[in-house]
Structure 1
Amino acid sequence: MSRKVSASTRIRVAAGAAALITVACTASAVAYGRSSGSGSPSGPREAAALTGSAKLSRTLGDDITFTFDAHLAAKHRMDPAKATGTFRFSHYLDGEGAWAKGRIDCLVTGGKVAVATGVITAGDLPGAKGKRVGFTVHDTGRNDRLGYSWAAVGSPVETKDLPKCVSSAPFERVKNGTGDFRVLPWQPDFVG
């Protein structure tokens, strides 16, 4: 038995399918916006962000972890020094090492690269409390990279008078399967 379908029925089916696709795409966009810290769907997204946690890849077996929750609100889009959030890092080898945490005081991102600084507020690394440290993250989606301001001097304690939003190139690699960093690109007014 053959069934004839009229042109108007085909148009209604196509329109219904298009409406379903539109609803699905809109729902996905809203969910993505919320997960990237953009707030409500009707509000502006935050100006920049660096989030996530991962361990670095070291051949000697060092256990090095960095964690970031740094954000630049939409209303402070033109002032990276108004960034807020936290950072934490630890470095252990054969049971010896230290950890530190602090508050973010600057964040600039460009594409998938972020540079952030913050002041150490707690930890067990002698002499580190009150020191500003910097971090650079390259979010590649896989095999992220990370750098830190004390790369050339060996310890955050040895860094003297570090300005805000200054760090080294992201020369370290993240160990596969240990986490991921996410960078939300900065969109200042003067960039078209």
Structure 2
Amino acid sequence: MSRTTSPRTRRYPRALAVGAALLMTAGAAGVAVASGDDAASTSHAGERAEPREAAALTGSAKMYRKTTEDVTFTFDAHLAAKNNGDPSKATGTFRFVHLDKPGGEGGWAKGRIDCLMTGGKVATATGIITDTNLKEIKGGRVGFTVHDQGKKDRVGYSWAAVGRPDGTKKLPKCTSSAPHEKVRQGTGDFEVVPWKVPYPTD
């Protein structure tokens, strides 16, 4: 089994560490917000341009490790233009995998996105685990933070500051840690679409 996703929790046995990598759903950090470009897109030339989606987080990459561990995060999260004022209406999927080595033993989980907020090139999202090889975490909420830096991205997750898994299902929506982890060079890339913050007009 692999160590926990967080490099600072190496004191736990590998058998427990896989659970730690997937179970820990505590910890919180705020997320900054900023307005993005008012870009519009169209699928065919000549058609009327449609407003772009309000926010998005997409892509997949492996985390940097000095060990043989193979840790991958994948996101396909979107907030539709019509839901710009309610990040909790975001939709999409997430998946993360933690193996002791490529093709080796470990744990995995995937689920549905239930909140997405982005500010500039930083995104914070949460989702509910719908399928996993660790039965005890199914149905729990986990959070993620991504800093899109163009091939030098960073990733955080809601369990980063917790020493051991606690199995909580009370994590608030759009809550995660600072993006402290580095993406392994050449393994992937993330893309963040800035949220168009609905500032008051009067």
Distance change >3 Å, CA 140–CA 134, structure 1 → 2:
same
Report the CA distance between 1:153 and its aligned residue: 2.3
Match of 1:112 among 92, 102, 121: 121
Q: Name the structure 1 match of 2:72.
A: 65
Q: Distance in 2 between matches of 1:85 and 1:74?
A: 15
TM-fit CA distance, 1:85: 0.2
1:122 paired residue number? 131
How does the TM-score come out when normalised to structure 2?
A: 0.72
CA RMSD in angstroms comes to 2.2
Alpha-carbon distance, 1:191 to partner: 7.5
Match of 1:50 among 53, 57, 60: 57
In 2: Cα distance, 1:120 partner to 1:156 partner: 15
Worse-superposed segment, 100-109 or 148-157: 148-157
Change (3 A) 1:157 1:52: farther
CA distance in 2, matches of 1:89, 1:154: 19
1:34, distance to aligned residue in structure 2 (A)? 6.3
- Partner SS state of residue 82, structure 2: helix
CA–CA distance in structure 2, aligned partners of residues 155 and 125 of structure 1: 15
- In terms of mean alpha carbon deviation, does 174-183 or 154-163 score higher? 154-163
- Equivalent position of 1:92 in the other structure: 99
Number of residue pairs the alignment of both structures matches: 158
For the 8 Å contact 1:72–1:80, the answer to whether it is kept is yes
Residues 152-182 of structure 1 show CA distances to partners (whole Å, capped at 9, x for unaligned) of 2256663441000000000000000100000
Query: Mapping of 1:126-137 within 5 angstroms?
Result: 126-137=135-146
Query: 1:125-175, CA deviations, whole angstroms, 9 ceiling, x for partnerless residues?
Result: 231110000000000012100000011225666344100000000000000
Where 1:158 maps in the other structure, the secondary structure is coil
Q: Which has the higher helix share?
A: 1
Q: 1-side partners of 2:64 and 2:48: how far apart?
A: 38
Aligned to 2:162: 153
Q: Call closer, same or farther: CA 1:53–1:133 in 2, change over 3 Å.
A: same
Q: How far off is 1:42 after superposition?
A: 0.8
Task: Please identify the structure whose Cα radius of gyration is greater.
Answer: 1
Q: Normalising by structure 1, report the TM-score.
A: 0.76
Among 179, 188, 192, the residue aligned to 2:197: 188
Percent of aligned pairs with the same amino acid: 66
Structure-2 change in CA distance of 1:123 and 1:157 (3 Å): farther
Q: Which has the higher contact order (CA 8 A, sep 6+)?
A: 2
**How many angstroms apart in 2 are the aligned matches of 1:34 and 1:125?**
42
Q: Would the aligned equivalents of 2:158 and 2:176 in 1 still touch at CA under 8 Å?
A: yes
Give me the whole-angstrom Cα distance separating, in 1, the residues matched to 2:177 and 2:116.
14
Which runs of no fewer than 5 residues in structure 1 stay unpaired?
Answer: 1-28
Q: Which of residues 162, 170, 178 is equivalent to 1:169?
A: 178
Query: What is the rounded CA distance, in whole Å, between the counterparts of 1:117 and 1:109 in structure 2?
Result: 12
